[in-house]
């Protein structure tokens, strides 16, 4: 073999990486036992970083650009410095290319429902899912802590761990937020930011960052959603008596056996109603009798939350607040909130609670 052919086999002129897989995070440059050529060119493209590992230790990290690999600008010993070894240098160097672009449209979701206490519905269970993006923020840390000696590291190898971290932080953030279930849809962006901030310190230890996290849906158990739908339907129907009359008239207008049956049933009910009215004293005999007046609905019992030192406590009933006011735990300047109230207000400014501070004990008996 000519000496020049032997030299060409020992040398690698250009070191670079082009990736079209869209899920590869780290790729090791395979040199098939060859040493790095003295003066070889290293091309690092935008969205990449090149990490040099020399004799098992991380030597240097190259950012995007074109580099001439020489001993005066890199700690790698090349085969040109070891003619006495016959181009069999004992110094082995490896080059790992790290993808620093964002990996987008990654999915996360809760496997099991999350238990929390809602101020209006009490204990409820929630499920949630969404998407997130991730990128390598520190290639050296990522290679040391996660990749190791893996020659081709993909996103699938770490996505499961990231999903577990997201679900854990989501459970804690949603439980501490105090946001009512019916208001969560309007606050998903804020909750997503809180979760991303809580996750960042953990994944920074892996050399990663979480630029974006989205909550696409927060859902209740099917039985609770059905109850909410029925409650909404009752609110839309309005007056129940008028609604039933309209449904009966609609069924009669459809005709056929069903319409006739409904018509006969409605006629019989109307006949019985007229007979009952004629049997009662009225214009045809006796004094008219006033219809009984239905009692008013019972008052709605509110539940209250208290804000102290940047934290929310509660819920408490009005009776609980009365005991707290007597014991000095609740003052006029204490901020309180209840569902339906426009923001936080001082207890002394709420008409329903102001009376708790005006009740004074009678004067003591004479000596």
Separation between Cα atoms, residue 222 and residue 230, nearest integer Å? 12
Task: Determine the average pLDDT of the residues in 135-163.
Answer: 88
Separation between Cα atoms, residue 356 and residue 318, nearest integer Å? 9
> Which of 80, 99, 118 finishes a domain?
99
Do 76 and 148 fall into the same domain? no
Whether residue 247 has pLDDT greater than 60: yes
Whether residue 137 has pLDDT greater than 90: yes
**Strand (E) or helix (H) holding 260:** helix 256-279
> Which of 60, 76, 99 finishes a domain?
99
pLDDT of residue 360: 54
Asked whether the beta carbons of 188 and 181 are under 8 A apart, the reply is no
Lowest mean pLDDT among 3-12, 20-29, 322-331, 347-356: 3-12
Asked whether the beta carbons of 327 and 336 are under 8 A apart, the reply is no
Do 175 and 135 fall into the same domain? yes
Residue 283 maps to a domain? no
- Reported as a pLDDT band with limits 50, 70 and 90, residue 38 is low
Counted domains in the chain: 3
Task: State the residue range of the domain holding 129.
Answer: 103-224
Do 90 and 108 fall into the same domain? no
Whether residue 3 has pLDDT greater than 50: no
Give me Rg for the CA atoms of the chain: 38
Separation between Cα atoms, residue 215 and residue 126, nearest integer Å? 13
Beginning with the edge strand found earlier in the chain, give each strand of the sheet holding 24-28 in spatial order. 57-62, 48-54, 93-99, 24-28, 152-154
Do 63 and 86 fall into the same domain? yes
Do 42 and 113 fall into the same domain? no
Do 54 and 89 fall into the same domain? yes
Separation between Cα atoms, residue 18 and residue 15, nearest integer Å? 11
For the chain, report the end-to-end CA distance as a whole number of angstroms. Answer: 125
Residue 26 maps to a domain? yes
- Per residue in 328-357, is it b (16+ CB within 10 Å) or e — as a string? eebeeebebbbeeeeeeeebeebeebeebe
Separation between Cα atoms, residue 137 and residue 116, nearest integer Å? 34
Do 121 and 214 fall into the same domain? yes
Lowest mean pLDDT among 42-46, 261-265, 293-297: 261-265
Number of H helices and E strands in the chain, helices first, is: 9, 16
54 burial (CB, 10 Å; 0-12 / 13-18 / 19+) is middle
Residue 173 maps to a domain? yes
**Which one is predicted more confidently, 9 or 344?**
344
Separation between Cα atoms, residue 186 and residue 359, nearest integer Å? 40
> Which of 50, 67, 99 finishes a domain?
99
Phi, psi of 103 (to 5 degrees): -100, 115
Residue 208 maps to a domain? yes
Do 122 and 211 fall into the same domain? yes
Separation between Cα atoms, residue 147 and residue 99, nearest integer Å? 12
Do 108 and 170 fall into the same domain? yes
Give Cα separations from 318 to 120, 338, 352 (angstroms). Answer: 15, 11, 9
Whether residue 37 has pLDDT greater than 80: no
pLDDT of residue 276: 55
Query: What's 187's domain CATH number?
Result: 3.30.479.30
CA 129 to chain centre: 7
Separation between Cα atoms, residue 113 and residue 124, nearest integer Å? 9
Asked whether the beta carbons of 54 and 91 are under 8 A apart, the reply is yes
In sequence order, what E strands does 35-150 have? 40-44, 48-54, 57-62, 65-69, 93-99, 103-109, 114-118, 122-136
Do 67 and 149 fall into the same domain? no
Query: What's 334's domain CATH number?
Result: 3.30.1490
Residue 321 maps to a domain? yes
Residue 293 maps to a domain? no
Asked whether the beta carbons of 131 and 106 are under 8 A apart, the reply is yes
Do 9 and 114 fall into the same domain? no
User: Hey, which residues does 68 pair with through a beta bridge?
Assistant: 41
Residue 213 maps to a domain? yes
Structure tokens at 319: 């009776």
Q: Other C-beta atoms within 10 Å of 145: how many?
A: 13
Do 122 and 45 fall into the same domain? no
Task: Determine the average pLDDT of the residues in 70-88.
Answer: 43
Residue 37 maps to a domain? yes
Separation between Cα atoms, residue 186 and residue 131, nearest integer Å? 18
Average pLDDT score, the chain: 75
Task: Determine the average pLDDT of the residues in 281-295.
Answer: 59
């Amino acid at each position: 073999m000519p000496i020049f052919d032997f030299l060409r086999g020992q040398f690698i002129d250009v070191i670079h990486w082009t990736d079209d897989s869209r899920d590869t995070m780290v790729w090791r440059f395979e040199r098939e036992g060859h040493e790095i050529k003295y003066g070889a060119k290293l091309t690092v493209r935008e969205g990449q970083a090149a990490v040099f590992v020399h004799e098992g230790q991380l030597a240097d990290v190259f950012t995007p650009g074109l580099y001439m690999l020489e001993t005066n600008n890199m700690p790698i010993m090349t085969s040109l410095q070891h003619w006495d070894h016959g181009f069999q240098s004992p110094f082995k160097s490896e080059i790992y290319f790290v993808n620093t672009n964002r990996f987008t449209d990654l999915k996360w979701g809760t496997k099991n429902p999350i238990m929390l206490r809602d101020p209006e519905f009490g204990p409820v269970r929630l499920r949630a899912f969404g998407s997130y993006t991730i990128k390598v923020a520190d290639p050296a840390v990522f290679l040391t802590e996660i990749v190791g000696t893996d020659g081709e590291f993909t996103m699938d190898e770490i996505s499961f761990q990231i999903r577990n971290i997201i679900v854990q932080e989501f459970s804690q953030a949603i439980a501490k937020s105090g946001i009512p279930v019916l208001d969560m849809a309007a606050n998903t962006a804020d909750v997503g930011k809180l979760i991303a901030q809580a996750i960042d310190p953990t994944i920074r230890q892996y050399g990663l960052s979480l630029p974006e996290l989205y909550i696409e849906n927060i859902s209740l158990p099917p039985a609770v959603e059905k109850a909410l739908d029925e409650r909404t339907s009752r609110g839309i129907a309005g007056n129940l008596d008028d609604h039933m009359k309209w449904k009966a008239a609609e069924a009669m207008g459809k005709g056929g056996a069903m319409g006739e049956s409904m018509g006969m049933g409605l006629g019989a009910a109307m006949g019985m109603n007229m007979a009952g009215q004629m049997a009662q004293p009225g214009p045809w005999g006796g004094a008219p009798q006033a219809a009984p007046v239905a009692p008013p609905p019972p008052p709605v019992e509110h539940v209250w939350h208290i804000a102290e030192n940047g934290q929310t406590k509660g819920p408490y009933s009005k009776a609980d607040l009365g005991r707290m006011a007597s014991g000095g735990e609740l003052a006029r300047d204490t901020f309180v909130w209840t569902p339906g109230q426009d923001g936080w207000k001082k207890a002394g400014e709420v008409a329903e609670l102001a009376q708790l501070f005006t009740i004074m004990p009678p004067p003591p008996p004479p000596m």
